[in-house]
Amino acid sequence: MTIRFLDSGDLTAYRDLRLVALQESPTAFGSSHIEEVDLPLTEFAVRLRLPDKPDNGIFGAFVDGKGLVGILGFAREYRVKRAHIASIGGMYVSPEFRGQGFGAALVDEIIAHARRLGSVRQIVLSVTASNVVAGALYRSRGFERIGLERDALCIDGKYFDEEQMALYLK
């Protein structure tokens, strides 16, 4: 397994995995497959590392011979008053690789990245409250619940709560 920031060479693999993620796990994302399926590649490219925000981007988990199997985004805030805060989101690991440590490795790499930046004091995230496995992963890495947004997502007329979590870096 290799974990690294995605680059322009990963663009098509990222788009393909993101679209699979949106279809396979609709409650895990604020966006939907129908909203993203017809977006041009340039829209996906801006999610990768931007020259003016090099600390931010999408981390990928790779397996030799299988390619990109997991993704997790990192976004540090750049406004002066909030530059100490980063957020993560868009976590997805292909079903055949779940339970093998890929999600944990992505989260661990993002935490290490935030620590290397030096000035990030907290990482925040939202997770669908009914996603017990993801919530447990984040808690195992030190994230704490800081709030609950009721009815945060509506999918086919059914509402889902989102748990807000934070990790305070020392």
- Give pLDDT tens digits for 53-62: 789 999 999 9
Which pLDDT score, from 0 to 100, does residue 111 have? 97
- Confidence band of 79 (pLDDT split at 50, 70, 90): very high
Which pLDDT score, from 0 to 100, does residue 135 have? 96
Which pLDDT score, from 0 to 100, does residue 63 have? 95
Whether pLDDT at 76 is above 90: yes
Residues 7-12, mean pLDDT to the nearest whole number: 92
Residues 68-84, mean pLDDT to the nearest whole number: 94
User: Is the full-model pTM beyond 0.75?
Assistant: yes
Which pLDDT score, from 0 to 100, does residue 54 have? 80
Which pLDDT score, from 0 to 100, does residue 48 have? 84
- Confidence band of 116 (pLDDT split at 50, 70, 90): very high
Which pLDDT score, from 0 to 100, does residue 43 have? 86
Give the chain's domains with CATH numbers. Answer: 2-168 (3.40.630.30)
User: Each residue of 15-52: pLDDT tens digit?
Assistant: 999 999 999 999 999 999 999 899 898 889 888 877 67
Residue-averaged pLDDT of the chain: 94
Q: Which of 24, 34, 2 is nearest to 10 (CA)?
A: 2
User: Which residues, including other chains, have CB under 8 Å from residue 127's CB and lie 6 or more apart?
Assistant: 134, 135, 138, 162, 163, 165
Whether pLDDT at 137 is above 80: yes
Whether pLDDT at 129 is above 80: yes
